[in-house]
Amino acid sequence: MAGPNLEIFKFGFYLFFPLAMMVHYGNPEWYRRHVIPYREKLFPRVETTNQNLPTNRGEIRQQLEKLKEERNARRQAKEASE
């Protein structure tokens, strides 16, 4: 078959590869540079999200009307700028 040299190489690779990945991706500087900006793109900040969700039909309708008005205002502003 392949011999002991191949087994030594495979053992070294099986040992080195996971350790190298842990060192590379476990680096706090790499995490701050690559993960945190991407996380901020995916998940909005708590301050920008609505924490008080409507619980009854009246509140839901009011919220929908508010969203429609905001959408219409944005649409009119966009049409005005064109």
pLDDT of 5 over the 70 cut: yes
pTM of the model: 0.43
- The single-letter DSSP state of residue 45 is -
pLDDT tens for residues 53-63?
A: 888 999 999 99
Cβ-contact 62, 54 below 8 angstroms: yes
Instruction: Give the domain ranges of the chain.
Output: 1-49, 53-82
Q: What percent of the chain has pLDDT over 70?
A: 98
Q: Which residues, 6+ apart, have CB-to-CB distance to 25 below 8 Å?
A: 31
pLDDT tens for residues 24-61?
A: 999 999 999 999 999 888 988 888 887 788 889 999 99
pLDDT score at 68 = 97
